[in-house]
Amino acid sequence: MDDSTFIADTPRLTGMALIQDEARRLPDTPGVYRMIGGEAEVLYVGKARSLKKRVTHYAQGRFHTQRIAHMVHLTRSMEFTTTRTETEALLLESNLIKRLKPRFNVVLRDDKSFAEILLRRDHPAPQIRKHRGAHTISGDYFGPFASTWAVNRTVNILQKAFLLRTCSDSVFDSRTRPCMLHQIKRCSAPCVDLITPPDYMTLVEEAHEFLTGKSRAVMGRLSAEMSEAAENLEFERAARARDRIRALSSISMEQSINPETVVEADVFALHAEGGQACVQVFFFRAGQNWGNRAYFPRVNTMIDAAEDEPVKEGPDFGENGAILDAFLGQFYEDKPIPRAIFLSHDVPNRALLAEAFTDKVGKKVEITVPQRGEKRELVFHALTNAKEALGRKMAESSAQTTLLAGVCEVFGLESPPERIEVYDNSHIMGTNAVGGMIVAGPDGFQKNQYRKFNIKSTELVPGDDYGMMKEVLRRRFSRLQKEEEAGETPPRPDLVLVDGGQGQLDVAVEVLADLGLDDIVVVGVAKGPDRDAGLERFFMPGKPQFMLEPKSPVLYYLQRLRDEAHNFAIGAHRTRRKMDMTKNPLDDIEGVGAAKKKALLHTFGSARGVSRAAVADLVKVEGVSAPLAERIYGYFHRS
């Protein structure tokens, strides 16, 4: 992007006077502007076809709302970035809003990545699997799916239909006989050459065709194959083709609202009420409904939807159009863009967004507001879901606000907490020790903020809960301290709950005091006698321990927080323990790669068989030299 950034900072001028002064020197070119407050915080990020005209519009003082006037009043400096085109300005604006989260912008708060199906292409026997995150692996990506459940279900059905492997490369390389998936007819077992590479690649290409919307062609070929096999009295082959057809048909039958005229599209419907908004997004790929997700963007600080110049004629987009306009730019910053996007409300920058998305993906992207037919029905269905989701959200928010107010009163906080962090540890006799942190706030559990900490210290006595908690808290808050010292604004908790009594509380207070963060409120939550729920005791620095009324709603809420942290830590511990249990000792021996490991396992049957082999037997294995045989023998006989 050919652009330049310059900062306008005139301490003697503020608010309207500052903006009027800067407007005189701005270029008549596209770009992005930022309004900065007195604490150097970014108040607002906006794009303009002409920076000069846009800022001059602010300088005239004709604002749509009192809130915009207040924003101008708080402005103490401005930053500007010029771009070559308005499209570049639009993309830069979306990136900055997501990164800076300005107070006066619509902000997309739910930034979790979507699950996808990955058909890997970096292995002779391509693997099909669930994927989440950046596209760093060579292969074909299909999505997004709105939920992990939808991906898992689809992958399972594709296994039945196309018999593609889902195992990891290490498992694939170490197999000496077919696994259970082959026995239940969900894998063609390319690992042990029960299918030839060309035949396996045929299955891979059929799966690719099906996932790209060519399901009728695939099912047509399978039907022809079934008929041909039946005519030739090859009933087993005919039965296999029949089972594959049934599996593929089940995807379409189980999907709700599978459109007949829409192959690839995203549907956005917005409903706003009571100062809150819900954007419901439905995903359609390969002619199938791949699920939906509800978003609740922060809109209590509505953006100014004015264009570069006052619009005398044309549509009145209103607040809903302004919200959806800001939402779309942020949503597609790191997500796949389909060929068609259907909206419930028209947006001011519809043509510009379509142009930006087209440039980004290299294919034509259409953004429309359907008025009739099946497309309109899809939008209406999404709008109904948006209304229902917002209703549930508002009811939950009301209850959550009441609970947080109760937490504030119980622990003597200055205001209801916006961020609560809860910590717990999990281990078995000190092994596979893991610490867990969960986060909760006004919007409930914030699962994208959860963190696990693998205990690394080698000096801890096995089972030392105090030492483990100390390591977890020091790692978490040392990072917080460094980020704050670097001028960043990382999420800081208003309340920290640690699972345990006075001892755990003392450890937490010591760590925070050492780091200069003793202004954070810490509470220890000890389970009652025999771990009975309802008899929890609470510990705070400088106060005697206390209990809450057994039927107190606040007590139930704190129990939920503690149990969530406990379950999260246990889950992390089990995952780590499972990984250790399934780890092959051969993986730790230098010089033993996938091919040699497969050869050793094929010869001796298992890692235990390898451990019992003599050096003379090891050197007989293809690819194992005498020095490597000595190294393998020495690894298993170090004592």
Chain position carrying tokens 């917080």: 480
Task: Yes or no: say if 33 and 94 are a contact pair by the CB < 8 Å rule.
Answer: no
Task: Yes or no: say if 33 and 46 are a contact pair by the CB < 8 Å rule.
Answer: yes
Tell me: pLDDT of 250 over 70. Answer: no
Chain position carrying tokens 């303009």: 48
pLDDT at 3: 56
Beta-strand pair 431-441/495-499: unpaired
Tell me: pLDDT of 256 over 50. Answer: no
Q: How many other C-beta atoms are found inside a 10 Å radius of the C-beta of residue 443?
A: 14
Cα(148)–Cα(155) distance, integer angstroms: 11
234 or 566: which carries more pLDDT confidence? 566
pLDDT at 305: 40
Mean pLDDT of the chain: 82
In the chain, how long is the greatest CA-to-CA distance? 93
Q: What are the tens digits of pLDDT across the range 619-628?
A: 888 888 999 9
Q: How many other C-beta atoms are found inside a 10 Å radius of the C-beta of residue 19?
A: 23
% the chain with pLDDT above 70 = 86
Tell me: pLDDT of 411 over 90. Answer: yes
> Partners of 103 in the beta sheet?
none
444 or 423: which carries more pLDDT confidence? 423
* Average pLDDT of span 408-431: 87
Cα(465)–Cα(457) distance, integer angstroms: 12
Could you tell me which residues come within 8 angstroms of residue 391 by beta carbon, excluding any fewer than 6 positions away?
Answer: none
Beta-strand pair 31-36/77-82: antiparallel
Beta-strand pair 265-273/128-132: unpaired
97 or 431: which carries more pLDDT confidence? 97
Burial category of 153 from C-beta neighbours within 10 Å (exposed 0-12, middle 13-18, buried 19 and up)? middle
Torsion 593-598-601-603 (CA) sign: negative
Burial category of 154 from C-beta neighbours within 10 Å (exposed 0-12, middle 13-18, buried 19 and up)? buried
Q: Does domain 4-100 have CATH number 3.40.640.10?
A: no
pLDDT at 190: 92
% the chain with pLDDT above 90 = 18
Q: Are both 4-100 and 585-636 of the same fold?
A: no
Tell me: pLDDT of 541 over 70. Answer: yes
* Average pLDDT of span 38-65: 81
230 or 8: which carries more pLDDT confidence? 230
Beta-strand pair 340-343/366-368: parallel
Q: What are the tens digits of pLDDT across the range 142-184?
A: 877 766 777 787 788 788 878 889 888 888 888 888 888 888 8
Q: Is 318 left (phi over 0), alpha (psi -120 to 50) or beta?
A: left
- pTM of the model as a whole: 0.56
CATH fold group of domain 265-306+316-389: Nucleotidyltransferase; domain 5 (3.30.420)
Q: What are the tens digits of pLDDT across the range 288-314?
A: 777 778 888 876 544 444 444 333 334
Task: Yes or no: say if 155 and 129 are a contact pair by the CB < 8 Å rule.
Answer: yes
The residue type at 454: N
| DSSP, residue by residue, 487-528 | T------SEEEEESSHHHHHHHHHHHHHTT-TTSEEEEEE--
Q: Beta-strand (E) ranges in 214-311?
A: 265-273, 276-285, 288-295
What is the CATH architecture of 420-566?
A: 2-Layer Sandwich (3.30)
Q: Does domain 585-636 have CATH number 3.30.365.10?
A: no
Could you tell me which residues come within 8 angstroms of residue 555 by beta carbon, excluding any fewer than 6 positions away?
Answer: 534, 536, 548, 549
Cα(242)–Cα(223) distance, integer angstroms: 8
The SS3 of residue 94 is helix
Cα(637)–Cα(639) distance, integer angstroms: 5
pLDDT at 247: 66
pLDDT at 513: 92
The residue type at 140: D
Q: What are the tens digits of pLDDT across the range 444-466?
A: 888 889 999 988 877 777 778 88
Task: Yes or no: say if 529 and 546 are a contact pair by the CB < 8 Å rule.
Answer: no
Q: How many other C-beta atoms are found inside a 10 Å radius of the C-beta of residue 531?
A: 9
108 or 602: which carries more pLDDT confidence? 602
* φ, ψ (nearest 5 deg) of residue 393: -65, -45
Instruction: Report domain extents, the chain.
Output: 4-100, 265-306+316-389, 420-566, 585-636
Cα(160)–Cα(152) distance, integer angstroms: 13
Q: Tell me the CA end-to-end span of the chain in Å, nearest whole number.
A: 62
Nearest Cα neighbor of 311 from 301, 302, 322, 300 is 322
pLDDT at 450: 93
